[in-house]
Amino acid sequence: MGSIETERATVGWAARDPSGILSPYTYTLRNTGPEDVLIKVLCCGVCHTDIHQIKNDLGMSRYPMVPGHEVVGEVVDVGSEVTKFTVGDVVGVGVIVGCCRNCHPCKSDIEQYCNKKIWSYNDVYTDGKPTQGGFAQSMIVDQKFIVKVPEGMSSEQAAPLLCAGVTVYSPLSHFGLKQSGLRGGILGLGGVGHMGVKIAKAMGHHVTVISSSDKKRVEALEHLGADEYLVSSDTTKMQEAADSLDYIIDTVPVGHPLEPYLSLLKLDGKLILMGVINTPLQFVSPMVMLGRKMITGSFIGSMKETEEMLDFCREKGVTSMIEVVKMDYINKALERLENNDVRYRFVVDVAGSKLEE
């Protein structure tokens, strides 16, 4: 790898404490190996999980922390044993950058379920150095955890797919829900939810958006192409929709009752949890038993599924609805995201931003 073998400094925007305020931070990238790739970051999506992490909502935050796990960049150097990528490739990096490679999930190509996985940021790499994310000039990543961005797909469009896109695609694929003609529900219309509508529609599903208010009805039906829109507090409409859905993708990231949504599922229907929630969820067991229903969860997707999903989105013309911002706007963007004031994903133009103070 030559020049990459030495330590190098980079600049990112980091949180220093649970206030979650980001500001410029200079640090050195981790030690490198023969299968590592040096990436110049072009852009990075902003995910609700970034807020949980920078504000220590889950009680495990390490500071200084450079967030960002929907990273698209350009390969600028490769290690001596890198076979998948060459200098100049446009590539993506998602939520994890390491795994043990020996456990059952790793050997089954579902490395996202490895108990020793290494997160893109707010974690420690094998050399003891903290991992830092994509709100930075550059990253060093093992080739296993990098995917090529398909030709013809813009960097800004690819970024949200690396988390929000594959998070929806993976359970639909794993649970046998890719065939056309299914009836699906998308609960919550944020970054993940809007990708859920688009990917499910591209698979040929009849899609119902379920929301707590009527304010996103026009966007769901006219802009995203959903077939129906249900307001969860409208008990009459909810009762009319009972036993009508094959699955519900639940993207709500705060505590909420499950029973109203379980009632919407058909026999053998699946409620797939995707929101990161640090309080217990409740339901009465007959809601599940009497329809042989399943409450399950899914976590991002494998590297193989990420590649499949990118190809699927390119083939079907699936795009994200994004708002591109510069890094100096990131704190305002995070505030707006927390207030659900974005349609539907922020993407930071990292390469076009001034990162230094």
Tell whether omega for the bond before 329 is within 30 degrees of 0, i.e. cis.
Answer: no
Q: Is the pLDDT of residue 146 over 70?
A: yes
- Kindly state the tokens that stand for 128: 């003891």
Are the C-beta atoms of 258 and 210 separated by less than 8 Å? Answer: no
Answering whether pTM is above 0.75, one says yes
**Tens-place pLDDT, residues 91-115:** 999 999 999 999 999 999 999 999 9
d(CA 178, CA 9): 44
pLDDT of res. 278: 82
Strand-strand pairing, 206-211 and 183-187: parallel
| Domain 168-297: homologous superfamily in CATH | NAD(P)-binding Rossmann-like Domain (3.40.50.720)
Topology at the third CATH level for domain 9-163+301-349: Quinone Oxidoreductase; Chain A, domain 1 (3.90.180)
CA dihedral 328, 329, 332, 335 (to 10 degrees): -100
Q: Is the pLDDT of residue 219 over 80?
A: yes
Are the C-beta atoms of 351 and 160 separated by less than 8 Å? Answer: no
* C-alpha atoms less than 13 angstroms from C-alpha of 193 in its C-beta half-sphere: 25
Nearest to 161 by CA among 121, 112, 201, 195: 195
Helix (H) or strand (E) holding 75: strand 70-78
Which amino acid belongs to residue 160? P
pLDDT of res. 179: 96
pLDDT of res. 8: 85
Extents of the domains making up the chain: 9-163+301-349, 168-297
**Tens-place pLDDT, residues 126-137:** 989 999 999 999
pLDDT of res. 226: 98
Greater model confidence, 278 or 243: 243
For 202: left if phi > 0, alpha if psi spans -120 to 50, otherwise beta; the answer is: alpha
d(CA 44, CA 346): 9
d(CA 75, CA 67): 20
The residue assigned the tokens 């060093």 is: 140
**In the structure, what pLDDT confidence band is assigned to residue 340 with cuts at 50, 70 and 90?**
confident
Q: Is the pLDDT of residue 34 over 70?
A: yes
Provide the terminal-to-terminal Cα distance of the chain, rounded to the nearest Å: 31
What are the two backbone dihedrals, phi and then psi, of residue 22, each rounded to the nearest 5 degrees? Answer: -100, 145
Are the C-beta atoms of 300 and 170 separated by less than 8 Å? Answer: yes
> In 3-state terms, what secondary structure has residue 206?
strand
d(CA 101, CA 105): 8
Of all residues in the chain, what percent are helix, strand and coil, respectively (each to 5)? 30, 25, 45
The reply to whether 9-163+301-349 and 168-297 are identical in fold is no
